[in-house]
C-alpha cells in the first residue's frame, strides 16, 4: 500500500506481480489533524475523511467518515465487493476494521 502524503497524491496498492491498483487521490492533507481522499474501490467514487484527535501522550482518537454513498445504486451497495456480502452485508465494517488495524500497527512501529 502506498499513500503519497500530499494533496493530489495517489493512494494505491501494488501486487506481487508489480500491478498497481488505485484506491484514490488525496484531496486534503492537513497533518496531524486530518486527510481526505477519493475512494475508488466502490463502484462509483466516494470520499473518505480521517480525523485524528490526541487524547493523551500515547492515545489518539481516529474518526472515519465515508461519504458519497448516494452515488451508488441500491444494487451496487448490495453487490459483492472485495469482501463477501457486499457493503450492505457487513463488508464495509469489516473492511474498515482491517484498514484501521493496519494503520494502528504502522503507527505503533513508527513510535
Residue found under cell 484498514? 99
Are 87 and 66 contacting, i.e. CB atoms less than 8 angstroms apart? no
Output the pLDDT for position 38.
97
Output the pLDDT for position 34.
97
Rounded CA gap, 41 and 1, in Å? 14
Q: Please confirm whether the linkage preceding 53 is cis (ω < 30° from 0).
A: no
Query: How would you write the pLDDT of the chain (111 residues) with one tens digit per residue?
Result: 899 999 999 999 999 999 999 999 999 999 999 999 999 988 889 999 999 999 998 889 999 999 998 888 888 877 767 666 677 777 777 888 888 898 889 888 887
Residue 61 has φ and ψ, to the nearest 5°, of -90, 130
- pTM, to two decimals: 0.82
Are 52 and 33 contacting, i.e. CB atoms less than 8 angstroms apart? yes
| Strand partners for 48 | 37, 66
Output the pLDDT for position 80.
61
Output the pLDDT for position 58.
82
Amino acid at each position: 500500500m502506498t499513500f503519497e502524503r500530499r494533496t493530489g497524491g495517489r493512494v494505491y496498492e501494488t501486487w506481487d506481480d508489480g500491478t498497481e491498483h488505485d484506491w484514490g487521490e488525496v484531496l486534503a492533507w492537513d497533518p496531524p489533524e486530518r486527510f481526505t481522499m477519493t475512494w475508488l474501490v466502490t463502484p462509483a467514487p466516494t470520499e473518505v475523511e480521517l480525523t485524528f484527535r490526541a487524547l493523551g501522550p500515547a492515545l489518539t482518537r481516529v474518526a472515519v467518515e465515508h461519504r458519497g454513498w448516494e452515488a451508488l445504486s441500491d444494487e451496487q451497495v448490495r453487490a459483492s465487493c472485495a469482501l463477501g456480502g457486499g457493503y450492505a452485508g457487513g463488508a464495509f465494517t469489516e473492511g474498515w476494521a482491517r484498514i484501521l488495524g493496519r494503520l494502528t500497527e504502522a503507527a505503533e512501529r513508527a513510535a
